[in-house]
Amino acid sequence: MCAINSSTEDSGSALAAAAGAQADLVRSWPNPVAGARIRLVETHISYVVLAGRFAYKIKKAVNLGFLDFSSLEKRRRCCDDEVRLNRRLAPEIYLDVIALTGTSSAPRIGGDGEAIEYAVRMRRFPQSGLLDRRLARNAVEPAVIDALADRVAAFHEQAAARCPRGTVYGSPGVVREAMAMNVLQLRRYLPGGMHAGLLDELERWSETVGAGLASMMDDRRLAGWVRECHGDLHLGNVALVRGHPLIFDCIEFNPDLRWIDVINEIAFMVMDLEERGRPDYAYRFLNRYLEVTGDYAGLALLGYYKVYRALVRAKVAAIRGGQEDRAARRREIKVCGQYLDYARRSILPPKRSLVLLHGLSGSGKSRVAQMLLEARAAVRLRSDVERKRLVGLRPGANSRSTINGGIYGEEMTAATYARLAELSRQVLAAGYPVVVDAASLKAWQRKTFRMLAQELAVPFLIIACRAPEDVLRQRVVARARVGNDPSEADPAVLEQQSRALEPLAGAELERCLAVDSSACSPDDLLRAVASCC
């Protein structure tokens, strides 16, 4: 027993000494340009020195359980891994690993002496481009959210999907252990039993829900949805550089936190945007990602992983609070509480509904659906996208089909609406409102969704989109000219739809909201929908 205590004390003393030497080192950083300002950015696990054209990242001498930087050799290996892994998404930023020589009070970058520390050298970019900062000043355009979702979807598609032999990455046991560890560490780092009751509530919820999702986690792991992801996908790790989102600073120190279900990764960005007061962007990002990947089945895990990610951020804030002075500690503890409040809200029962769009091409259905998904935290299902997915086409691909032929023949149309109904059931079962963006010209198509809503006992609404004939024609012509929309409708298709349309009748009219998309304001539309469901 005495030997164990002595070893622990020696280890603690060694870490304290190494931490002190690192603090001296970053304060004594050599200035590459006389008179130029050197800036230091500190996180709970690293120092980042901004000097000249480069940023130098040094891993703190800490052992936090989920990461171990306690020895110089471990820090060197993690530096190598950081460069290798981050080059997947940001090759232009991550340059190399350099040794620091000399002494902590007079360090040299490189040199022939013995290494006293290692740093990842990166090419600097303007910190004003970080998305968390841009969002705070309302400087993130919707197109940036779309581009980010597209980038992440492409990255996940290319990421390694076969877990290394003998590992259990992404398994239910690993996931639930990580969730439990977050709560345990929050209890450890929060002072004086703070938030104890809420942590008890979140712990009970996570144990119950995690057990219920275990078989799905296993199934998705076997199906290849557990991949070597980024692992830390939040707004502070994305920057707008030359007009494009640059994703950096992935998890290199713990493969359990990097080899995860792709929906776990997506949940981090959704959580971050929601917690910062932008649920519209959260669901814009989510829907764009889902339309590219088709992973609607993963929605059943999204709520669980959103809570997990909120607890991760709460834990980070609690750890930082223990490293700061009194004023900064209060700020970090407040941030921790905000994430815990978000987690509490996220475990409340969901409000589900099924909204079906109806109308000719160019009548504004997709615009209405976009407004609804952003305003109501909903999931949109697009017939144009799912029709093409059924035959292996990308959303923007041209099927080269004829009117009422190819993918627009009767058989494919029936298969498309069956697929939309199947996905609607899946989304509603996961606890999310669903918006079906389809022409729904035939009575049988509309009845399919009305009966589904009745079966699942969720509110149902048909939004009938209308616009003057000349406006419809102008819109489809303009859309076809741009050529980046999943719809392939042209004026000839519009004429055929007009002849085939079966007007709403009977019970349909009782649950219908008619919208003139050329005149109705977004606020009026959302108020009208809210009054119906």
CA 144 → CA 223, 288, 352, distances in Å? 31, 12, 28
Predicted confidence band of residue 5 (pLDDT cuts 50, 70, 90): very low
Q: Which pLDDT value is given to residue 463?
A: 97
- Name all contacts of 45-50 with Cβ < 8 Å and 24+ positions apart: 45/69, 45/253, 47/22, 49/119, 50/124
What's the mean per-residue pLDDT of the chain? 93
Nearest to residue 432, comparing CAs of 423, 441, 440, 442?
423
Q: Which pLDDT value is given to residue 4?
A: 37
| Over residues 330-354, mean pLDDT | 95
Say whether pLDDT at 108 is over 90.
Answer: yes
* Same structural domain, 463 and 325: no
Domain closes at, from 96, 124, 152: 124
Q: Which pLDDT value is given to residue 323?
A: 80
Q: Across the chain, which distance is largest between two alpha carbons, in Å?
A: 89
CA 262 → CA 45, 78, 84, 244, distances in Å? 25, 23, 20, 22
Render pLDDT for 15-62 as a digit per residue (tens, 0 to 9): 889 889 999 999 999 887 766 789 999 888 999 999 989 999 999 999
User: Taking each helix axis from N to C terminus, what angle separates 365-375 and 522-532, rounded to the nearest 10 degrees?
Assistant: 70
Which region, left, alpha or beta, applies to residue 74 given φ > 0 means left and ψ of -120 to 50 means alpha?
A: alpha
Alpha-carbon dihedral sign for residues 164, 168, 169, 171: positive
* Same structural domain, 100 and 230: no
Predicted confidence band of residue 321 (pLDDT cuts 50, 70, 90): confident
Q: Which pLDDT value is given to residue 156?
A: 97
Neighbours of 436 (CB within 10 A): 31
* Same structural domain, 332 and 364: no
Domain closes at, from 346, 363, 385: 346
Phi and psi angles of residue 424, each rounded to the nearest 5 degrees, phi first? -60, -45
Phi and psi angles of residue 248, each rounded to the nearest 5 degrees, phi first? -140, 180
Predicted confidence band of residue 349 (pLDDT cuts 50, 70, 90): confident
* Same structural domain, 423 and 384: yes
Q: How far apart, in whole angstroms, are the C-alpha atoms of residue 292 and residue 68?
A: 37
Q: How far apart, in whole angstroms, are the C-alpha atoms of residue 202 and residue 468?
A: 52
* Same structural domain, 168 and 253: yes
Start-to-end Cα distance in the chain? 65
Q: Which pLDDT value is given to residue 2?
A: 34
* Same structural domain, 289 and 386: no
Among 89-103, 185-199, 319-333, 498-512, where is mean pLDDT lowest?
319-333
| Over residues 165-172, mean pLDDT | 93
Q: How far apart, in whole angstroms, are the C-alpha atoms of residue 320 and residue 311?
A: 14
* Same structural domain, 282 and 208: yes
Question: What residue has token string 């275990």?
Answer: 214
The alpha carbons of the chain give a radius of gyration, in whole angstroms, of: 27
Render pLDDT for 358-379 as a digit per residue (tens, 0 to 9): 999 999 999 999 999 999 999 9
User: What CA dihedral angle connects 314, 316, 318 and 322, to 10 degrees?
Assistant: -170
Q: Which pLDDT value is given to residue 66?
A: 85
The answer, as to whether pTM is greater than 0.85, is yes
* Same structural domain, 238 and 299: yes
> Which range of residues forms the domain containing residue 88?
2-124
Yes or no: say if 154 and 297 are a contact pair by the CB < 8 Å rule: no
Count of domains observed in the chain: 3
List of residues 6+ apart from 144 with CB closer than 8 A: 131, 240, 245
Question: What residue has token string 């990255």?
Answer: 155
Predicted confidence band of residue 120 (pLDDT cuts 50, 70, 90): very high
Render pLDDT for 249-293 as a digit per residue (tens, 0 to 9): 999 999 999 999 999 999 999 999 999 999 999 999 999 999 999
* Same structural domain, 120 and 144: no
* Same structural domain, 199 and 240: yes
Phi and psi angles of residue 354, each rounded to the nearest 5 degrees, phi first? -125, 115
Question: What residue has token string 């080192």?
Answer: 25
Domain closes at, from 287, 317, 346: 346
Alpha-carbon dihedral sign for residues 282, 287, 292, 294: positive
- Here the CATH number for the domain that contains residue 498 is 3.40.50.300
User: Taking each helix axis from N to C terminus, what angle separates 299-321 and 172-189, rounded to the nearest 10 degrees?
Assistant: 30
The percent of residues above 70 in pLDDT, for the chain, comes to: 97
* Same structural domain, 86 and 196: no
Say whether pLDDT at 387 is over 50.
Answer: yes
Render pLDDT for 296-309 as a digit per residue (tens, 0 to 9): 999 999 999 999 99
Nearest to residue 247, comparing CAs of 294, 287, 285, 295?
285
Residue 19 CB-density burial (10 A; 0-12 exposed, 13-18 middle, 19+ buried): middle
* Same structural domain, 376 and 237: no
